[in-house]
Amino acid sequence: MSPGPLAWMLLYGAVAVGGCTALTYLLLGAEGGPLDRSFRAYAARLDTHCTFLLMGCRGAPLARAQILVCVAAVAMLSLTGSPAFALLGLAAASAPPWLLWKRHMARVAQLERQLDTWLLMLASALKATSSVGEAIASTVVLVPKPFSEEVDLLIKELHLGAPLDRAIHALSQRVNSTVISGALTTIVVARQTGGDLSLTLERAAAALREAARLEGVLRTKTAEGRGQVLVLASVPFVLCFIIAWLDRSWFDPMLTHSMGRAILGACALVWAFAAFWAHHIARVDL
């Protein structure tokens, strides 16, 4: 009894996936090669996101899993020709780094929103003790997550024997935020120069609250402009859809003649430039 078409397809799929996987493993296993360097750089970038997000997985296993899924999707696409496998490979290649980056940026934004609260807590703690390390440790149970997690990591580094300035610098590098780095630098400089650190932190917290208020006002004022840009950018498509619905032959000269296609391409280029420029004007940063 000969095997059916489904059995042969499964056999061919298993052989193709296994062969592509073995080839990928051999190429990545070449120490010092261009693929190995690219893989290590990509895995290090994923590992940076995973470490900052305090996730249990690491960058290298996640990158290997992506490669295996992409290789399997390409092999199955070559066998079946189904676009579902192409979408699967595209999702496996782009979704993990994009999702990690989005979560990273969301965590940084949440840390920046909690910064002024933590500075006020630290300023109040410094009025009761002269030790900056003890004052920082006392804020761990008071400030909400995720800032408490970052402060807890700083305290653990202090318990392991790291100097306070180095632990603060490590926190600044881990978060990689201009606002938080500036506040942490203020703590280090005020501590080294012997100024009134409590008063300095209260002023820094007030400045951060004022900057957040002005940024909210700016977003509110520019929201109308961004809406107008979106409406104006969508008007040509709406008009083209209505005209094509009323008369299907209206755009035939622009689609069939070379001069019409050239005019259509020029219009698309001008539209893209105008939309980009309007978006750049409406996107005002504080």
Cite the DSSP H helix spans in the chain.
Answer: 5-29, 34-52, 59-80, 83-126, 132-138, 147-159, 164-175, 178-193, 197-246, 252-256, 258-282
Q: What is the pLDDT of residues 56-88, one digit of tens each?
A: 778 778 888 888 888 777 777 777 777 777 788
- Taking residues 28-40, report their average pLDDT: 64
- Say if CB 152 and CB 138 are below 8 A apart: no
CA dist 261 and 263 (Å) reads 5
pTM, two decimal places: 0.67
pLDDT score of 44:
83
Is the pLDDT confidence value at 15 over 80?
Answer: no
Output the six-digit token pair for 52: 């900052």
pLDDT of residue 25: 53
Question: Per-residue pLDDT averaged across 203-221, rounded?
Answer: 76
Kindly list the domain boundaries of the chain, sorted by start residue.
Answer: 5-81, 107-212, 216-282
pLDDT in the model for residue 8: 46
Q: How many residues does the chain have?
A: 286
Q: Express each pLDDT in 142-195 by its tens digit.
A: 888 888 888 888 888 888 888 888 888 888 888 888 888 888 888 888 777 776
Phi and psi angles of residue 201, each rounded to the nearest 5 degrees, phi first: -70, -35
